């Protein structure tokens, strides 16, 4: 019987050492566990960082707003008929070619509006 430990049988020096393969496997397991623990701690730190979360949400909202703006502008361009655009351009062209006639038309319309307003009184 071993007097130091009170155990019967082999002493600590007589215990078999694990094979080198088992030791390497244990080291790999320990390293893997450390990596997982580091990732867990990092994830918890990110969840606890309220300012960073608010900043990230603000950036996401800004990106979404910019995307919506682009979509709406694209839709507006698609909906606006080319005939309306060309009609406006041709009206400007005619007005520039015939400014006197356009002036007479303006005076005529203004007279009609004034006559209507005065006749209602």
55-98 pLDDT, tens digit each: 999 999 999 999 999 999 888 777 766 667 777 788 888 888 88
CA–CA distance from 118 to each of 60, 104, 107 (Å)? Answer: 59, 21, 16
Mean pLDDT on 5-30: 71
Q: Using an 8 Å Cβ cutoff, are 46 and 52 in contact?
A: yes
pLDDT of 77:
75
Distance (Å, rounded) from C-alpha 121 to C-alpha 119? 6
3-class SS at 105?
Answer: helix
Please report, for the chain, the start and end positions of each structural domain, with discontinuous segments joined by +: 20-79, 82-121
pLDDT of 11:
53
pLDDT of 20:
73
pTM value surpassing 0.85 = no
């Amino acid at each position: 019987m071993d007097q130091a430990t009170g155990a019967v049988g082999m002493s600590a020096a007589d215990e078999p050492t694990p094979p080198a393969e088992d030791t390497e496997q244990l080291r790999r397991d320990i390293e893997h566990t450390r990596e997982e623990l580091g990732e867990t701690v990092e994830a918890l730190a990110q969840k606890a960082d309220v300012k960073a979360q608010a900043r990230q949400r603000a950036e996401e909202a800004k990106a979404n707003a910019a995307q919506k703006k682009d979509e709406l502008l694209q839709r507006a361009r698609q909906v606006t008929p080319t005939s309306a655009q060309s009609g406006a351009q041709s009206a400007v062209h005619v007005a520039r070619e015939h400014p006197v006639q356009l002036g007479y038309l303006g005076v005529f319309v203004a007279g009609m509006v004034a006559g209507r307003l005065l006749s209602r009184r």
